[in-house]
Amino acid sequence: MTRKKLVRFAFLLVALGFGAWAIAGRWTEVADGFTRLSWPLLAGSLVAVLAALTAGMMMWRALLADLGSPLRFTDAAKVFFVGQLGKYIPGSLWPVLAQMEMGKDLGVPRPRSAAAFFLTYPIYLVSGLAVALVTLPAFAGDSVEGYAWMLLLLPLLVVGLHPRVVNAVLGFGLKLIKRPPLERPLTRRGVLTSVGWAFAGWAAYGVHLALIVAGLGAPGARALVLSLGAFALAWCLGFIVVIAPAGAGVREVAMVAALAPVLDGGSTIAAALCSRLVVSAGDLVCAGLAGLAARRAEAVPATARRD
């Protein structure tokens, strides 16, 4: 085994270990909530999470292609999902470092990988805040009024996502670190495509949470709409409050507030904790499936491969 493969194997083991620990460490907190959920609901919730994570990968893939590095689905899935496991390791840079290194083997320049990675966050924020704005004020009311300040960020983020602004910021950042400019600038089509995938992801995340909420005693259209907004609001707040690793704790507080109109206090906490556990399980499943798919694809002769 070469040194590079050994380092990557060690990264994968450490990331999987922290991911498994994140699930096991919360089990006692969510055991009661899970006992109230049927297996079909849990399975459906996990499938919705897998769909949401796949939409996130497609968003990143669309950005990377627009910047000049189109990847096959299996290659993109491996780089994205295995790299994403790095978020469970203490330290914020592991995911982007992992994606940069794995992408380099596929001919993706490191600056391009980093640009696509960091662009996913403002796109998630813009689309997530838009989802929260549409769903929560009318259905959650006073329970989420303390988070209204976040909506002030929406117009700034929308302007910041204009391709001219993005390309200027990327060019300035690369110049600061003495790197050559990107060969291809980001286009409007690339931004809009990635935003579309982001909205698809929020819809799937909302379904995932709605199934958990239904199992805990709140079925119906109102609970579904609140679940859409609750997950989007929780993710956005968890990202903004950077002192919390992967939004730990912060997301749950926001989710509890948003779900308060349809669930009692104990059930809202159970829903928030169960949601985080299902999403963590989805991360591990996606990384495993992507790794297996990529390994099988590598075994197929190049002439037989299809995009």
Q: How far apart are CA 136 and CA 132, in angstroms?
A: 5
CB 58 within 8 A of CB 70: no
Contacts of 288 (CB under 8 A, 6+ apart): none
Type of residue numbered 126: V
Q: What angle do CA 154, 221, 52 make, to 5 degrees?
A: 55
- The 8-class DSSP code of residue 305 comes to -
Write out the chain's pLDDT in tens, 307 residues: 565 555 554 544 554 454 455 545 555 555 566 677 888 999 999 999 999 999 999 999 999 999 999 999 989 998 898 888 777 666 567 778 888 888 888 899 988 898 898 899 899 999 999 998 888 876 666 667 777 777 788 888 888 888 889 888 888 887 887 777 778 889 999 999 999 999 999 999 999 999 999 998 888 899 999 999 999 988 888 888 764 444 456 788 888 888 888 888 778 888 888 888 898 889 888 888 877 776 666 665 544 444 5
